[in-house]
Chains A and B, each alone.
Chain A
Amino acid sequence: MQGLLFLTFAAIAVICAINLVLQTHPISSALSLIGVMGSLAVLYLLLGGEFIAAVQLIVYAGAIMVLFIFVIMLLNAGAEKRPTRKVLATWISLPLLFTFVALAAVLIGSQVPRTEAVTFGGFAGGTTLSVGRALFTQYLLPFEITSILILIAILGAVVLARKEI
Chain B
Amino acid sequence: MDIPLSLPAAVPLSWFLILSAILFMLGVAGFLLRRNIITVFMSIELMLNAVNLTFVTFSYRLQKVDGHIYSFFVMVVAAAEAAVGLAIILTVFKNRSTLEIDEVNSMKL
CB within 8 Å of B: which residues of A?
2-4, 6-7, 10, 13-14, 17-18, 20-21, 24, 26, 29-30, 33, 36-37, 40, 43-44, 46-49, 51-52, 55-56, 59-60, 63-64, 67-68, 71-72, 74-75, 77, 80-82, 84-85, 89-90, 93-94, 97-98, 100-101, 104-106, 108-110, 112, 114, 116-119, 122-123, 125-126, 130-131, 134-135, 139, 142, 146, 149-150, 152-154, 156-157, 160-161, 165
**16 pairs of residues in contact across A and B, judged by CB atoms under 8 Å:** A20-B26, A36-B23, A67-B83, A75-B90, A77-B99, A97-B29, A100-B25, A101-B22, A108-B17, A116-B14, A131-B65, A142-B73, A150-B79, A156-B87, A160-B88, A160-B90
Closest-CB distance, A17 to chain B (whole angstroms): 4
B75 touches A59 (CB 8 A): yes
Query: Main secondary structure on chain A at its contact with chain B?
Result: helix
B46 touches A17 (CB 8 A): yes
B87 touches A150 (CB 8 A): no
B7 touches A71 (CB 8 A): no
Q: Please name the residue on chain B nearest to A158 by beta carbon.
A: B87
A149 touches B76 (CB 8 A): yes
State in angstroms the CA–CA spacing of A146 and B27 once bound together: 26
B window 68-96: CB within 8 A of A: 68-69, 71-73, 75-84, 86-91, 93-95
A7 touches B7 (CB 8 A): yes
Q: Does B11 contact A (CB under 8 A)?
A: yes
Closest-CB distance, B81 to chain A (whole angstroms): 8
A125 touches B64 (CB 8 A): yes
A130 touches B16 (CB 8 A): no
- Of A68, A118, A139, the residue contacting B38 (CB under 8 A) is A68
Additional A-B contacts beyond A20-B39, A114-B12 (19; CB < 8 A): A2-B9, A17-B27, A30-B42, A47-B56, A60-B45, A68-B42, A68-B86, A75-B90, A82-B35, A108-B14, A112-B13, A118-B12, A118-B16, A119-B10, A134-B66, A135-B72, A146-B73, A156-B84, A160-B84
Q: Cβ of A94: which chain B residues have Cβ within 8 Å of it? A: 29
